Amino acid sequence: MSFQFAITRQPAESYIDGITTANLGRPEMPLARAQHAAYVQALTRAGLQVSVLPPTPAYPDSVFVEDAAIVEADFAVLSRPGADSRRGETTDMLPVLAQRFTVRYQIENPGTLDGGDICKVGARYFLGVSQRTNPAGAQQLAGFLSRHGFTCEIIDIRGMQGILHLKSAVNSLGENTLLLDPRLANHPSFNTYRKLIVPLEEAYAANCLRVNDIVLVPDGFPATLELVSTAGFTPVVMQVSEYHKMDGGLSCLSLRW
């Protein structure tokens, strides 16, 4: 779980008009900006060189840069978001990736794919098929990843109400450990891993983020914080209330490699 670089994007004023199912109210933009700045600072303190892209007002959800691409040290895959209103985000991300990656791939129609559905665990990728990522998109990505020696497994979450993306419900903490929403805890694909299962009432906190020697944990979820700490990890609590309001979590706010 070692990273050297990250890409983030500042939230635009239009962020308040983004897509959400959370029913938690509209984000407060001064607080959203402050929380984003603190997130960038946390990544920097963890040892990453962080590129902060300017806001893109035409795309309210573009602060969630993880959905626009999948990145490894030696290649990148430009996604094709499942929400029509987000498709243009990849147009803006392409030149950013072109500056950093010589080898690039792109998900093509009829495939759709959000980066939030892609969970890397060691040399294995779990590819979520969801309301945003379709089987064609997942298969295209599996083909690209296999060229670089990764194995892949597709996990269909379309029947799981309340789970938007695969990484809303499962995230790797490294050291063969997964943090899981209880609704995915018994999936056979995860049986060989050490499983930390968050309480259902703290399901949002399944989206913690391991960054080098620390684990970023959303504020306000004490049982998850204790779970991570007791398992031997070093948690750093982050306030992300204004991103929770828009269905976003800690992993959504950066691309890391």
Active site residues: 165, 252
Separation CA 163–CA 200 (nearest Å):
12
Let me know the angle formed at the C-alpha of 255 by 133 and 219, rounded to the nearest 5 degrees. Answer: 90
Number of H helices, E strands in the chain: 5, 15
Separation CA 143–CA 139 (nearest Å):
6
Per DSSP, the residues of 179-239 read EE-TTTTT-GGGTTSEEEE--GGGGGGG--EEETTEEEEETT-HHHHHHHHHTT--EEEE-
CA 72 from chain center: how many Å?
14
Separation CA 248–CA 234 (nearest Å):
22
Phi, psi of 89 (to 5 degrees): -60, -35
